[in-house]
């Protein structure tokens, strides 16, 4: 590592050398270092390519140096010294070598914004005083060229500081008074002198930035300290007047004028210049591929429409109705234009997760705003969408195809029209129809049906282009039709028959099981609308008509009836429907060999009859046996077993699902079961020859012969028979073409719950034990998927919950724990979540200590620190692990001196993971509304506060150990600032830990910490003792 003296004599400053020095070495004594470093860091990345030939590598190195320098000064609460060094570099710079992009790099703004959020009010007050004094001195300077660049840099820095200033409820009054005094002094020292310097564009820009930052100051102190609103409003009015006087217009200046108008409304509640806020002329020209990084300092003529549109969408619903009354039509027209009419021209638009484009801003508005809550806006949007839909359909009719000409353009034209129709249907489904006071939907529903007919006719044109799946299109269409606010029985009956016709056409194009499930679900929702007008009469009429025209509606109709058995006449109708279903089920079974759709319908009908059987048995119905008499004659053990065996051999998911449903129906109807069938079902998990041999010999091998009572001949026979049996070997059969367990999970759960009722516990336990051993060995050898092993563990745990099987399943506990232990190394998040759920259930069983050992093992919690986890996957794992740890702490017999260190170790990894994830990401210039990541991390941090509070119930076991958790927090805080809301939850949990630590352990806690961690720990303890420690006083 180079020394300070070596660094001084170097003619060219090296960025790599800056990474080798701590903040204390790069201090004020190295006067010649800082100007060179700031010049390199703040300049364009291509200028630094002399040292690193790759410009991208140079930019990465510059960003790394910026982050390190800002964080080093922040961690020791010396951020004001860093600001002073930046100002010193500004004073020493001249117009020749001053970089063009002063304070423009996004990484510097991002780091400063994150650090300002985590800085105390006292230090923010100190930095604010430094910047105000420096800016006031520059305003008196006589060097116009250099001064303008310096003023612009300081203005941006001052805006970032005031934007990220936060006042807590625990802030002392003297600190609030000092900040308010600085706020009042800023008007005389900065704002008023700036109002006289509005001749050039740079001064006008700085004036707009500073006035916005200064006038936002009262919003920070709202409800905490009395600050007058009259002076900020007067300054804003004077600034708007000064900015409007020149005829020349600048893009970034127009954006800041827009922000000032909005700020004035937030302060006073009045929007006097509505036409300036709704500047529709600036939004007239849509950029084709423009993208905006959502930074107020990166506004260009190309990105200005996006920035203005984002500001309008973010604040449109908060503005008073008198202001927006004349702009609903323009707003709706522009919104629909960005989403529908210009999609062909904006094919290169970026996604809103990467850069907020016009399309992304509009979609965000529809996702976050309840349009139905604003009737005028809702009516304008629906009317605009109706006109767009009508124009699109008329254009499709007006296309005249000439022979041998333009025939190749027809598929492209159809795809474009289908895309626009799908966009309109999606928006309509999202906002719903507008209904007037009488209850009439103000929309031509025939346009919706015509649009969907066109989509079905040109299905190949748009589905091949990858625009959208048919299932998504049908979902949007059905949701839209079902949102019509009508309770007329005749209307919904006609809708049902029309939908059935559409269903038949869709099945010819897409007959997958997922599509069939979705179609039946939509039919179920429509039948519910039919049932609202009269249960027995309307549904009887519907059933009579559907028996011949639409038989697939019968099981859907039965589901609706089972929920209304308390109404008169429904039970009799249910019996008639079940008898008809049994007849249809017999026909479907015969057609399953040739018709693929019959497999799905057969499984659906089987589940409906099972649900009806369980429901009618509860109410004591005596006529159910007569309704299923024909089905009892058909279902025999031979037919059921043959169908199951055929499905297992074929390995087709739908056929296997149908066979399992048929078996469950047989067990439900006959109230009987054979162990032979149970073993055959268990062979699904491991189709190995060894598995079948052991299951076949299970009953014989369970009996151990008494060798002492045998003679020599008998003993020889036994030994010969044992030697002939091949020893158990690890299966080498590689499973191929096995169906996903997702297809049969529900069927297997139903079967196992029935097996527990009708099988002997010993027989079922023996079969399960052998299967569990075989599947575990196959999983370790890679011959069986881990999902199947997990599914088997779920089924075994569900059997343990059955009272009749609780004692019989105790010998299987060791096998279950061994299986779950082998799954901890997987990277599948869903499997890990299911494993933790099973461990949580087993903690309440017979062997909680062995379960606790696996639940606290390190490999389980190391997954939380994986960098490849998405935020949603991390949230799922973190929530499951939090619940598991909390369950362990809630059982006193599991918290012992032997398990306490293991609990602390697991909690440390758990806490490290949330500290890593809760660090602020992205640009500091983002909107005030929380992002999805921030919202998830705040939610996860609430688990920290809740769980760490549980340590208070075990002070004797953890009083000397929880200090390690606080050390983890202090060390983790050095790597970056946390989200303020997330930090509040985490610190609140740490205060609960500090409540249970004795003074000696508290004083000795900082001995094992580093210097920087010790400072953070000292501030944490002082804050706890001063504000949060309970002293027994009311």
Residue 384 has pLDDT above 70, yes or no: yes
Q: Are 654 and 743 in contact (CB under 8 A)?
A: yes
**Residue 233 and residue 159 share a domain:** yes
What is the pLDDT, as a whole number, of residue 71?
Answer: 76
Q: What is the C-alpha to C-alpha distance for residues 264 and 215, in angstroms, rounded to an integer? A: 9
- Of the two residues 926 and 116, the one the predictor is more confident about is 116
Residue 159 has pLDDT above 80, yes or no: yes
- Of the two residues 591 and 511, the one the predictor is more confident about is 591
> Is the four-CA dihedral 191, 194, 198, 201 of positive or negative sign?
negative
Q: What is the C-alpha to C-alpha distance for residues 919 and 507, in angstroms, rounded to an integer? A: 49
Q: How many helices (H) and strands (E) does the chain have?
A: 53, 0
Angle at the Cα of 558 from the Cα atoms of 554 and 564, rounded to 5 degrees: 145
**Residue 680 and residue 633 share a domain:** no
**Residue 685 and residue 585 share a domain:** no
**CA dist list (Å): 947 to 688, 834, 908:** 45, 21, 12
Structural domain of 785: 673-702+739-825
- Taking the alpha carbons at both ends of the chain, their separation in whole angstroms is 57
Residue 181 has pLDDT above 70, yes or no: yes
Question: Bridge-partner residues for 919, per DSSP?
Answer: 978
Q: Are 470 and 502 in contact (CB under 8 A)?
A: no
Q: What is the C-alpha to C-alpha distance for residues 530 and 495, in angstroms, rounded to an integer? A: 10
CA 798 to chain CA centroid, nearest Å: 30
Within a domain: 22: no
Residue 817, domain CATH: 1.25.40
Lookup: tokens for 119: 């800085």
Q: What is the C-alpha to C-alpha distance for residues 787 and 794, in angstroms, rounded to an integer? A: 11
Within a domain: 302: no
3-state secondary structure of 471: helix
Residue 871: pLDDT band with limits 50, 70, 90: confident
- End residue of a domain, out of 238, 272, 306: 272
Q: Are 628 and 576 in contact (CB under 8 A)?
A: no
**Residue 950 and residue 809 share a domain:** no
Q: What is the C-alpha to C-alpha distance for residues 588 and 611, in angstroms, rounded to an integer? A: 19
Residue 51: pLDDT band with limits 50, 70, 90: very low
Within a domain: 289: no
What is the pLDDT, as a whole number, of residue 188?
Answer: 79
Within a domain: 584: yes
pLDDT digits (tens, 9 = 90+) for 196-223: 765 666 677 788 888 888 887 777 766 6
pLDDT digits (tens, 9 = 90+) for 545-589: 666 566 667 777 777 777 777 777 777 778 877 787 787 777 777
Which has the closest alpha carbon to 808: 766, 772, 748, 840? 766
Q: Are 263 and 247 in contact (CB under 8 A)?
A: no
**Residue 226 and residue 146 share a domain:** yes
Number of structural domains in the chain: 4
**Residue 1010 and residue 876 share a domain:** yes
- End residue of a domain, out of 256, 272, 288: 272
pLDDT digits (tens, 9 = 90+) for 676-731: 677 777 766 665 444 444 444 444 444 434 444 444 445 445 544 444 444 333 33
What is the pLDDT, as a whole number, of residue 432?
Answer: 78
Average pLDDT, the chain: 71
**Residue 803 and residue 661 share a domain:** no
Within a domain: 176: yes
**Residue 678 and residue 814 share a domain:** yes
**Residue 1013 and residue 960 share a domain:** yes
pLDDT digits (tens, 9 = 90+) for 294-313: 677 777 766 777 777 777 88
Exposure letters 790-826 (e unless 16+ CB within 10 A, then b): bbbbbbbbbbbebeebeebbeebbebbbebbbebbeb
Q: What is the C-alpha to C-alpha distance for residues 250 and 1019, in angstroms, rounded to an integer? A: 47
Within a domain: 773: yes
What is the pLDDT, as a whole number, of residue 728?
Answer: 38
What is the pLDDT, as a whole number, of residue 352?
Answer: 42
Residue 517 has pLDDT above 80, yes or no: no
Q: Are 604 and 611 in contact (CB under 8 A)?
A: no
Angle at the Cα of 776 from the Cα atoms of 771 and 778, rounded to 5 degrees: 95
Q: What is the C-alpha to C-alpha distance for residues 926 and 939, in angstroms, rounded to an integer? A: 20
Exposure letters 338-374 (e unless 16+ CB within 10 A, then b): bbbbbbeebeebbebeebbbbbbbbbbbbeebebeeb
Residue 432 Rama label (left phi>0; alpha psi -120 to 50; beta): left
**Residue 654 and residue 541 share a domain:** yes
Tell me the mean pLDDT in the region 613-642: 76
Q: What share of the chain is helix, strand, coil (3-state, %, to 5)?
A: 70, 0, 30
Q: Where are the beta strands (DSSP E) in 215-370?
A: none
Within a domain: 332: no
Residue 875 has pLDDT above 80, yes or no: yes
Residues in the chain: 1034
pLDDT digits (tens, 9 = 90+) for 753-774: 677 666 777 777 777 777 777 7
Angle at the Cα of 392 from the Cα atoms of 388 and 398, rounded to 5 degrees: 140
Residue 404: pLDDT band with limits 50, 70, 90: very low
Lookup: tokens for 988: 């609140």
- Of the two residues 294 and 893, the one the predictor is more confident about is 893
Residue 641 burial (CB < 10 Å; 0-12/13-18/19+)?
Answer: middle
Exposure letters 411-441 (e unless 16+ CB within 10 A, then b): eebbbbbbbbbbbbbbbbbebbbbbeeeeeb
What is the pLDDT, as a whole number, of residue 1033?
Answer: 42
* Residue-by-residue DSSP string for 372-432: GGSHHHHHHHHHHHHHHHHHHHHHHHH--PPTTSSGGGHHHHHHHHHHHHHHHHHHHHHH-
Nearby residues of 353 by Cβ (< 8 Å), 6 or more positions away: none
CA 825 to chain CA centroid, nearest Å: 24
Lookup: tokens for 321: 């109705």
Residue 948 has pLDDT above 80, yes or no: yes
**Residue 664 and residue 678 share a domain:** no
**Residue 614 and residue 576 share a domain:** yes
| Neighbouring C-beta atoms of residue 908, cutoff 10 Å | 16
3-state secondary structure of 978: strand
> Is the four-CA dihedral 500, 506, 511, 512 of positive or negative sign?
negative
pLDDT digits (tens, 9 = 90+) for 222-265: 666 666 777 788 888 888 877 765 544 566 777 787 788 878 77
Q: Are 892 and 900 in contact (CB under 8 A)?
A: no
- End residue of a domain, out of 652, 670, 688: 670
pLDDT digits (tens, 9 = 90+) for 988-1019: 888 888 888 877 777 777 776 777 778 888 88
Within a domain: 361: no
Angle at the Cα of 760 from the Cα atoms of 755 and 765, rounded to 5 degrees: 80
Radius of gyration in angstroms for the set of CA atoms belonging to the chain, rounded to a whole number: 36
């Amino acid at each position: 590592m180079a020394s300070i003296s070596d660094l001084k004599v170097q003619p060219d400053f090296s960025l790599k050398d800056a990474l080798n020095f701590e903040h204390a070495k790069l201090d004020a004594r190295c006067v010649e270092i800082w100007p060179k470093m700031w010049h390199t860091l703040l300049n364009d990345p291509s200028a630094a390519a002399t040292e690193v030939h790759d410009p991208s590598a140079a930019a990465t190195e510059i960003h790394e140096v910026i982050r390190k320098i800002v964080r080093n000064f922040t961690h020791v609460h010396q951020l004001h010294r860093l600001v002073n060094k930046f100002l010193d570099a500004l004073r020493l710079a001249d117009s020749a070598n001053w970089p063009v992009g002063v304070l423009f790099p996004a990484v510097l703004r991002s780091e400063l914004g994150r650090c300002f959020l985590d800085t105390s009010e006292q230090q923010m007050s100190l930095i604010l005083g430094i910047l105000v004094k420096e800016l006031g001195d520059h305003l008196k300077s006589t060097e116009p060229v250099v001064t303008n660049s310096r003023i612009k840099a300081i203005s941006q820095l001052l805006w970032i500081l005031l934007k990220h200033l936060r006042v807590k409820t625990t802030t002392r009054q003297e600190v609030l008074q000092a900040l308010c005094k600085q706020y009042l002094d800023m008007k005389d020292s900065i704002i008023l002198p700036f109002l006289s310097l509005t001749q050039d564009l740079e001064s006008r820009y700085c004036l707009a930035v500073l006035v916005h930052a200064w006038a936002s100051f009262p919003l920070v102190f709202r409800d905490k300290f009395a600050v007058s609103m009259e002076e900020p409003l007067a300054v804003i009015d004077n600034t708007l007047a000064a900015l409007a006087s020149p005829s020349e217009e600048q893009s970034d200046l127009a954006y800041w004028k827009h922000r000032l108008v909005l700020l004035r409304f937030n302060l006073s509640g009045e929007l006097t210049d509505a036409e300036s806020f709704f500047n529709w002329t600036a939004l007239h020209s849509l950029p084709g591929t423009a993208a905006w990084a959502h930074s107020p300092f990166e506004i260009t003529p190309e990105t200005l429409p996006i920035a203005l549109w984002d500001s309008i969408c973010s604040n449109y619903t908060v503005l008073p109705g008198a202001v927006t009354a004349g702009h609903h039509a323009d707003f709706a027209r522009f919104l629909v234009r960005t989403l529908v009419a210009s999609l062909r021209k904006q094919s290169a638009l970026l996604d809103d997760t990467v850069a907020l484009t016009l399309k992304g801003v509009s979609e965000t508005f529809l996702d976050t705003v309840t349009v139905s809550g604003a009737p005028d806006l809702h009516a304008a949007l629906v009317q605009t969408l109706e006109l767009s839909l009508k124009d699109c359909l008329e254009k499709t009719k007006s296309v005249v195809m000439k022979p041998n000409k333009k025939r190749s353009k027809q598929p492209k034209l159809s795809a474009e029209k289908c895309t626009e129709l799908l966009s309109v249907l999606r928006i309509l489904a999202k906002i719903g129809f507008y209904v007037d006071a009488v209850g009439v939907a103000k929309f031509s529903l025939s346009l919706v049906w015509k649009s969907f007919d066109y989509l079905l006719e040109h299905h190949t044109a748009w589905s091949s282009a990858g625009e959208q799946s048919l299932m998504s299109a049908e979902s949007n269409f059905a949701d839209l039709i079902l949102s019509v606010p009508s309770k007329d029985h005749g209307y919904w009956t006609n809708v049902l028959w029309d939908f059935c016709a559409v269903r038949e056409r869709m099945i010819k194009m897409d007959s997958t099981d997922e599509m069939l499930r979705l179609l039946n679900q939509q039919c179920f929702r429509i039948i519910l609308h039919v049932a609202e007008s009269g249960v027995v009469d309307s549904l009887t009429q519907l059933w009579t008509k559907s028996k011949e025209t639409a038989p697939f509606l019968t099981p859907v109709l039965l589901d609706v009836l089972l929920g209304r058995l308390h109404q008169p006449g429904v039970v009799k109708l249910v019996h008639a429907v079940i008898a008809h279903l049994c007849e249809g089920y017999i026909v479907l079974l015969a057609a399953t060999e040739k018709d693929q759709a019959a497999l799905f319908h057969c499984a659906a009908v089987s589940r409906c009859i099972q649900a009806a059987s369980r429901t009618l048995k509860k109410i004591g119905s005596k006529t159910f046996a007569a309704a299923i008499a024909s089905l009892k004659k058909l279902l025999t053990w031979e037919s059921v077993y043959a169908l199951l065996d055929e499905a297992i051999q074929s390995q087709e998911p739908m056929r296997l699902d149908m066979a399992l449903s048929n078996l469950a129906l047989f067990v439900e109807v006959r109230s009987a079961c054979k162990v032979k069938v149970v073993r055959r079902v268990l062979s699904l998990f491991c189709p190995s020859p060894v598995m079948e041999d052991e299951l076949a010999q299970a009953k014989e091998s369970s009996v151990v012969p008494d060798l002492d009572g045998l003679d020599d001949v008998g003993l020889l026979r036994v030994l010969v028979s044992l030697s002939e049996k091949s020893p158990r070997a690890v299966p080498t059969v590689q499973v191929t073409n096995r169906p996903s367990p997702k297809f049969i999970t529900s069927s297997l759960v139903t079967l196992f719950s029935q097996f527990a009722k009708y099988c002997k516990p010993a027989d079922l336990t023996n079969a399960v034990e052998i299967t569990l051993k075989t599947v575990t060995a196959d999983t370790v050898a890679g011959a069986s998927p881990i999902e199947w092993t997990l599914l088997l563990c779920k089924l075994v745990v569900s059997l343990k919950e059955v009272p009749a099987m609780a004692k019989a399943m105790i010998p299987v506990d060791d096998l279950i724990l061994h299986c779950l232990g082998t799954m901890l190394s997987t990277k599948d998040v869903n499997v890990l979540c299911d494993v933790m759920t099973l461990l949580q259930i087993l903690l309440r069983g017979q062997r909680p200590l062995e379960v606790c050992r696996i639940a606290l093992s390190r490999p389980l919690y190391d997954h939380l620190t994986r960098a490849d986890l998405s935020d949603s996957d991390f949230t799922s794992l973190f929530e499951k692990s939090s619940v598991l740890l909390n369950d362990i702490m809630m059982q006193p017999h599991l918290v012992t001196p032997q398990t306490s260190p293991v609990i602390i170790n697991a909690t440390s990894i758990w806490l490290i993971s949330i500290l890593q994830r809760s660090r602020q990401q992205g640009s500091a210039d983002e909107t005030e509304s929380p992002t999805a990541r921030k919202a998830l991390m705040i939610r996860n941090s609430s688990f920290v506060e809740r769980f760490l509070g549980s340590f208070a119930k075990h002070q004797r076991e953890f009083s000397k150990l929880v200090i390690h958790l606080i050390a983890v927090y202090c060390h983790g805080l050095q790597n970056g600032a946390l989200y303020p809301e997330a930090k509040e939850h985490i610190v609140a949990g740490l205060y609960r830990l500090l409540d249970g630590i004795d003074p000696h352990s508290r004083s000795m806690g900082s001995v094992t910490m580093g210097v920087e961690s010790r400072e953070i720990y000292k501030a944490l303890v002082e804050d706890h003792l001063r504000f949060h420690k309970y002293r027994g006083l009311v």
